[in-house]
Chains A and B, each alone.
Chain A
Amino acid sequence: MTYGPSAGQLVRPPEHHHDEPHVPVFVGARRDELDTIMSRYPTKMAALLPALWMVQDTHGWVSEGAVEEVAQVLDLTAAYVKGVLSFYTMYHQHPVGRHFVQVCTTTPCNVCGAEDVVHAFLEHTGCGELGLTSSDGRFTVIEVECLGACGFATPVMINNEFIESVTPERVARIVAEHD
């Protein structure tokens, strides 16, 4: 039995990605959006998860620079933000492929053949190994714990897109549809 890394755990970062300067997220319309979100809570800190989502939706991952920016806009320390960031598996702490593929392999999907779906994705994306990004930068594939769609085994998430009832036979076409 072989199991690979789960979400956010062992995805290997490409080299030198720390060198890129951070482009601020919370300016203009996005700053207004964050202010609207903050107005829903009695503390600024409660907007931390939404703010991290906004960063990831903008840049695809949450860099050190982004951590500093989030800390500054929410009056938190960077260390605190990093502590929270690292708790939640859906935030990427380093760049991943343009299409981040999460295949559920927890028991209910596992008994329906989810491991074969994982292997099909590793083969068709050219990733070869869980957590690695394909050489063209298109894909990163990981196994994920229960996606909460067990009756539609095997569910696969590609970024925010949720695909139900994926079989190994469907994988080639799904991969082709994601440039």
Chain B
Amino acid sequence: MGYPHSSHERETPVLSKYFGDPDARTLAGWRARGGYTSLDKALGMDPVEIQNIVKDSGLRGRGGAGFPTGIKWSFMKPDGKTHYLCCNADESEPGTFKDREIMRWTPHALVEGVAIGAHAIYAETAYIYIRGEYSEPIRLMQAAVAEAYASGILGANAMGSGKRVDVHVHRGAGAYICGEETALMNSLEGRRGNPRIKPPFPAVAGLFGQPTTINNVETLAAVPHILREGAEWYQGLGREDNPRSRGTKLFSVCGNIARPGNYEVTMGFPFGEFLNDLCGGALPGREIKAVIPGGSSVPILTREEAENTLMDYEGMVASGTMLGSGGVIVFDDRQDMVKQIARLARFYAHESCAQCSQCREGTAWTTRILERISAGQGNARDFDTLLSIADNMSGKTICVLSDSCATPVVSGLKKFRAEFEAKLGPDHSRGVVPVLLTSNRTVAA
């Protein structure tokens, strides 16, 4: 079942199977749909065994980085220390709203995935950090956790296994940067959400200084299915010629598109068919001009590029962009790309935690220059200034928020150069040496 649309026949609903079905929200409803059988099984297994199944399934992090989940879990050793699992539900990447639907429709799927994840990394305590604006998902997750405690699924003797598993919901308070894993840990500890310098990595010294694993909502929600259906089943989903991207992925689609919403397809699905068939293509009488395929932090594609892309980690890289969070933002021919890229830059300027100067200054100046160009007051030298700032913002800061601001600016200037130039009045470009965009200028991932 889809939400808000019904499932397309070419979708492969695994995580989204019960989206739109309110009965799946309750514990009884979730149990009736096979819920908590995987947790029951997992609690009787050795953590290494679970890690190996997840490794074999090919599951990779769905929050954006794509790190293999089983390998991440295997960094956690039974060392006698207190371990923590953090579930990153601070979904804030513009264009992304998949975790929201997982939590709204299948909150117990996440509780189950989190509990399995905790056991798999030798942790007794897990925190689900949900962005403060998600009032309904927070309420539903709190209700699901309470139900799970009341029925003995969580607590000192989880499902009668003799093992302790505690899961707590923690509400954020409005900060995009808290989706960065080390900022999330600082925020959970009651600090400002500034990212931390790595190393030490969270697996060594994370939350409260203890070994910690941070996983995205979609990643953890996939785990019960993998344990139930087997690693081979998950491994079998995806295009045949790419062994590195397996399983299904939720894509959130928004902007100027006929049917916005969440779609779940197997890895490697053709992007052209996805946009034009599943999502219904452009709005009546319009044409798609550009697509940001993986949340606002990844390079922009033209429609032609997008239509020739395969939707998995490697397919996106082959087209010069990234899978990211799977947030697909569509722009049609009415849109002013200069204005919209300026608006994105403004988002990053607002969300910069301001501890690194390249980011604090870079996001602010990028926004100011882009808004000036957008208002018809730019000159051709501004393009070079923007690229120079972008260069200084990339690969030089504690976290990648700075890089994320530079990315749409660089790719936007490269692919929609004519729109930027058209914003310059004749007076502003006169007498200025034309600036050529160097083709080898890239932005660090």
Contacts and interface: CB of A to CB of B under 8 A. Distances in A.
Interface of A: 1, 3, 6-9, 40-43, 45-50, 52-53, 74, 83-84, 87-91, 102, 105-108, 110-112, 144-153, 157, 160-162
Contacts of A146: 92-94, 176, 347
Interface residues on B, range: 35 or more
A146 to B, nearest CB: 4
B133 A148 contact: yes
A110 B340 contact: yes
Interface string B335-360: 10001101110110011010000000
B187 interface: yes
B191 interface: yes
A107 B173 CA distance: 21
Contacts of B192: 83-84, 87
A52 B190 CA distance: 10
Contacts of A161: 135
9 contacts: A1-B339, A49-B172, A50-B171, A74-B190, A84-B192, A106-B343, A110-B343, A144-B133, A150-B252
A157 B133 contact: yes
Interface of A is mostly: loop
Given A1-B371, A153-B260, A90 B351 contact: no
Interface of B: 4, 82, 91-97, 100, 131-136, 166, 168, 170-176, 187-193, 208, 252-256, 260-262, 296, 327, 329, 331-332, 335, 339-340, 342-344, 346-347, 350-351, 353, 371, 374-375
A165 to B, nearest CB: 9
Of the candidates A49, A50, A160, A161, the one having the most CB atoms from chain B within 10 angstroms of its own CB is A49
A160 B94 contact: no
Shortest beta-carbon contacts, A-B, top 3: A48-B190, A90-B174, A88-B173
Nearest to B283: A112
A157 B253 CA distance: 21
Contacts of B329: 107-108, 111, 150
A43 B347 contact: no
Contacts of A50: 170-171
Given A40-B168, A106-B296, A162-B133, 9 more contacts: A1-B342, A7-B174, A42-B208, A53-B171, A84-B192, A87-B193, A110-B340, A151-B262, A160-B135
A42 B374 CA distance: 50
Given A108-B94, A112-B256, A47 B190 contact: yes
B94 A107 contact: yes
A79 B296 CA distance: 35
Given A1-B342, A145-B350, A148-B96, A40 B166 contact: yes
Given A110-B340, A146-B176, A45 B189 contact: yes
B132 A43 contact: no
Given A50-B171, A53-B171, A148 B134 contact: yes
Given A46-B190, A148-B133, A151-B253, A107 B175 contact: no
Contacts of B208: 41-43, 46
Contacts of A162: 133-136
B188 A152 contact: no
Contacts of A48: 190
A150 B98 CA distance: 10
Nearest to B329: A108
Contacts of A8: 174
A155 to B, nearest CB: 9
A162 B375 CA distance: 33
A148 B100 contact: yes
B435 to A, nearest CB: 24
